[in-house]
Structure 1
């Protein structure tokens, strides 16, 4: 049985689905992503780099008492914001939730997936795949 969404994920979904157009959604997403503390710059190295993205992305996960914490950084504000939206439902959840969560469906529910160019979509799914691999390591 999957756990319910965290209040933060539910709030973000509500905020994004209430926007009138893609520009407003984009603006709201960028504002919301400011809440996420970025990855420590010293961790922006090859060990944490996500392959397959046009913009450089680094991703790290920690597990404290069975709850995952994803931290990340990107050269691109938009990629950072999309990563924030994609991974927010996984924050504070157990590894089994993260590995089984349907992030593609989540992005559709947030009205994000249909607005992504193919290259950005492919890069985002590489980030998601890597996040779920890292979560699996804690299972």
Structure 2
């Protein structure tokens, strides 16, 4: 499955970062690039359950391709969610079902930094995307 352009850009920048400090800085930068979510979207119905941090997610279908927007109250999680969005935005519902989250963060060189709770939280976000697209 080919990667969206945004995902390729993420891979390029993270694979070029030699150490964890540079990747951590990149992660924060990706989080800052996340478009702010409207306060009206930060409601219980859009909150992702299974995350220790607050994460809100909305999705829209445009010409058979999903576009998601998300926000989190935690900086690190915002960065991880931004990288997840880079990976999934523009995919069809069928492609979304096939996204391999551990593989994606492994390619970015971030899998060792994902604690079990963060990993579970990101899986919950992906699961919510799949539910929205079903």
Mark yes or no: TM-score above 0.5.
yes
Q: 5 Å matches for 1:68-87?
A: 68-87=66-85
Runs of at least 4 residues of structure 1 off by over 2 A? 32-36
Checking the alignment, whether the CA contact within 8 Å between 2:31 and 2:76 is kept in structure 1 is: no
Structure 2: gaps (5+ residues): none
Structure 1: gaps (5+ residues): none
Aligned residues: 134
Identify the residue that residue 123 of structure 1 maps to in structure 2.
121
Checking the alignment, whether the CA contact within 8 Å between 1:33 and 1:81 is kept in structure 2 is: yes
CA distance in 2, matches of 1:75, 1:85: 16
Displacement of 1:34: 2.9
Identify the residue that residue 51 of structure 1 maps to in structure 2.
49
CA distance in 2, matches of 1:94, 1:118: 28
Displacement of 1:38: 2.5
CA distance in 2, matches of 1:58, 1:71: 8
CA distance in 2, matches of 1:106, 1:99: 14
Aligned-CA RMSD value: 1.4
TM-score, normalised with respect to structure 1? 0.89
Q: Does 1:37 align with 2:35?
A: yes
CA distance in 1, matches of 2:116, 2:79: 17
